[in-house]
Amino acid sequence: MDLVEVLPNRLHMLRFPIGQAYLWQDGGALTLVDAGNAESAAAIEGAIRSLGLLPERLERIVLTHCHRDHVGAAGELAARWGARVLAHRLDAPVVRGERPVPEPVLLDWEIPLYAHGLTVPEAPPTPVDRELEDGDALGFGDGARVVHAPGHTDGSIGIHLPRHGVLFTGDCVAAVGPPMLGVFNVDRVRAIESFRRLAALEPSVACFGHGDPLTVDTASALAEAAAGTPA
């Protein structure tokens, strides 16, 4: 796992072989956005300690959606350190193991990528302490809010920190080179609508579920990519 500073003393990316998570600091209080795969709890704890922070200060784990490379270690970390797990109401039953993971409608070129993604260990059923809705306040980042961004999954969300100009897009948007619509969507049309909604927030920093964060000309790059994505 790689640990990458995005904003000094505020935001780090935790990058795994497939997917990534983000650690946000409010003083000593910590929030994790997504939680890597089911085998990544020890690496996440080690990353927190390497920054001179205390894992017992992890207050919440906000899941952008229900896929295994984002949910995996959430339950173990929550049980170990007392963090609360948050997920959108529509994805929470999947996170808890009450419903199956929704099958995406794959484009031809996505099929081999999807097969590779399934090499990530399955996420165990994970309790969800709070079910989220669009616009909900999240209690960190000086006013972080939920932005419902369906299409990748029904309960996919973005997380917007307007006072810091930061946007976590989950897998609605990816950045393999320039930003692009994320892959493996259950509803491509809704995913494009969500991409445009997220781009309209005009963040200065965009953090993706896959790909390096965007910190330069972010708003214009997102707007151009969203406008140019064909249905």
Q: Which residue's structure tokens are 């445009």?
A: 196
Q: How much is the pLDDT for 231?
A: 76
pLDDT digits (tens, 9 = 90+) for 133-153: 999 999 999 999 999 999 999
Element (H, E) at 23: strand 20-26
Residue 127 neighbours by CB distance under 10 Å: 14
pLDDT digits (tens, 9 = 90+) for 62-121: 999 999 999 999 999 999 999 999 999 999 999 999 999 999 999 999 999 999 999 999
Angle at 14 between CA 10 and CA 20, to 5 degrees: 120
Mean pLDDT value across the chain: 97
pLDDT digits (tens, 9 = 90+) for 26-35: 999 999 999 9
Positive or negative, the Cα torsion across 100, 101, 105, 111?
Answer: negative
Quick one: pLDDT band at residue 24, thresholds 50, 70, 90?
very high
